[in-house]
Amino acid sequence: MTDGVWETGSVGSSRRVRPMRARWLLVAGWFLAVTPTVQAQIIVVANLTSDEVVFSVKPAEPTAQKKASRPREQTQERSESDSSAPSQIPGNNVPLPKAIHLPAGDVAALWVGKGAELQPRAANASETAVSYVVAPGGAYFWLGEQGKRSLHAIDLGEIDPEAYPGVPEITELTVKILVDDDEPTVAARWHHVLKARVDAASKILERTCRVRLKVIAYDTWESPAETTGLKAGLQAFERLVEPGPAQVAIGFTSQYKKLDRDNPHLGIIRRPLGRHILIRERVGRMSEPEKLEVLVHELGHYFGAVHVLHGRSVMRPNLADGRARMKSFRIGFDPINALIMNHYVTELHAGRTPDVFRPAVADRISHLKRILARIASPALASAPSGRSSPTEAVPRVRPAPPSKTVGRPQPELDTLSRSVATLLREFRRPPPDKIEGEALVDWYVRRVAVAAQSLPADLAPRAFLIALGIGFDDTDVLRTSAAIGPWLRRIESDDERSVRLPLVQKTALSGRHDWAL
């Protein structure tokens, strides 16, 4: 947040902006609903496996509630055939789903009473299953393969949240969609495209924090030609556009087509619950999934989410990394930001504005944001082992089991590795001055091709293609891969990589750096 503005791509310290109390009351009025009579608290569960996880949810036994997060063995027969098992938290009337189907990379928000038990579906009838007692106010994630699932608790320090007033109904947020005067398509076209995008974002928010978006108005505005950059564009958008009759106005601008060091942001919002969101609509050749991710990112800021260095989270600072274009990538939030968003939504649902959030909830939100500011990834966590230490704010990691002994590579692989390492040297050579973009891609390809001519004929084609794939890659996707990461680190050290990255970051195809990867 810079000068009170949330931006994609900006990380650093923040200062709190306090708008007029009347404005917060106006926003809260839209969220105000009849207070339910049941008691419930929130937990969030993430799936960090590569496949869907199916798990059951049931109330924790009273004796188990004091040992939240500790696994205990029980047979599948008991968990599936015991028809007397309650479907509600005793005494609280909180309905619980019988089963959760959680896709890979997704996060589920669950409302529980004083505790609940989660049990992954067993792979077969003879398998002994393990159930986990989870604590209200906590964040958890699944790891492991089918039949070997294990639940891990993210260490968030002391967890003692007050009970919420009940399970909120779906909260509706009304939206006005606008485009500026540089929009090249006809109204019918952009109405259809942008409403479909907002609807897709709505589904993500609904499964994360029970918020549903409803488009109720369309309009246009004249984006001043003299404004440069998204910050100035937001100021003009706020000045010229009235969000009413909707709660929030989302503007899609076609004026700012070029990303550079001075204007690196894809979307921008001034503060949580800010009534104006401005998003670039045409930057290079962004795909629709990438545009959806930018929209969800800004809506996350609307509900209090903050930036986090987590490769699977929509709240990572750099959304121009090409991940959203991968078929296997699922747009969603990290567990801690999902918890923050649920705190925001629940308080707003009860009619409380951010300046009058209950002290326990306000302190909890501040604590969670401090954790995200201090860690690289919310996936760092301790194993489920009972109450965490109140003095530890940084998540801990359970020691990994000893890895299997890896056999010595075959001689052919050793030779290929040395060949690729030789070609990668070309990517550490500084290019001639003023060469960038597609010209720089061409320069590196030619350099590597010339160097490959000195390699054995049977290895040169493979080494050439592998070197190009590694050399143009400036993400951590390959290097952190369990399958090939160790091999990559053998052929290119961290120091060598630190020399290469600043050079290849000036490459681009069709105006997009990530297309050069």
Domain ranges, ordered by start, for the chain: 6-33+168-332, 36-164+358-401, 411-516
- What are the start-end ranges of the H helices in 105-210? 187-209
d(C-alpha 197, C-alpha 187), whole Å: 15
Rounded average pLDDT over 457-464: 85
Counting every residue written for the chain, the total comes to 517
For 289-322, how does the pLDDT look when each residue is reduced to its tens digit (9 = 90+)?
999 999 999 999 999 999 988 778 999 988 878 8
∠ Cα 102 103 107 (to 5°): 60
The predicted-structure confidence for 115-134, as pLDDT tens digits, reads as follows 788 988 876 766 666 888 88
406 has a pLDDT exceeding 80 = no
Average pLDDT of the segment spanning 354-369: 87
- Please state the φ and ψ torsions of residue 508, each to the nearest 5 degrees: -165, 155
6 has which bridge partners? 269
Please, which pLDDT band fits residue 412 given cuts at 50, 70 and 90? low
Asked whether residue 105 carries a pLDDT value surpassing 80, the answer given is yes
The beta-carbon contacts of 511-515 under 8 Å, at least 24 apart in sequence, are: 511/258, 511/284, 511/285, 511/437, 512/284, 512/285, 512/286, 513/320, 514/320, 514/321, 514/322, 515/284, 515/285, 515/322
Please give the span between the terminal C-alpha atoms of the chain, in angstroms, as a whole number. Answer: 29
- The number of beta carbons lying within 10 Å of the beta carbon of residue 508 is 18
Render pLDDT for 19-55 as a digit per residue (tens, 0 to 9). Answer: 344 444 445 444 443 334 345 678 899 998 888 999 9
Q: Token pair 């998540």 is at which residue?
A: 395
Residue found by looking up tokens 């080494």 in the block: 463
Tell which residue, 480, 451, 482, has the closest CA to residue 467: 451
Mapped onto helix, strand or coil, the DSSP state of residue 366 is helix
- Let me know: does 370 contact 385? Beta carbons within 8 Å: no
Residue pair 115/123 in contact (Cβ under 8 Å)? The answer is: no
The CATH number of domain 6-33+168-332 is 1.10.10.410: no
The per-residue pLDDT of the chain, averaged, comes to 76
pLDDT(193) > 90? yes
> What is the structure's pLDDT at 257?
79
Please tell me the predicted confidence (pLDDT) of residue 161: 52
- Residue of higher predicted confidence among 177 and 83: 177
Q: Is the pLDDT of residue 429 over 50?
A: yes
Which of 417, 471, 415, 474 has its CA nearest to residue 448? 471
pLDDT at position 271: 93
Confidence (pLDDT) at 246: 97
222 pLDDT more than 90 = yes
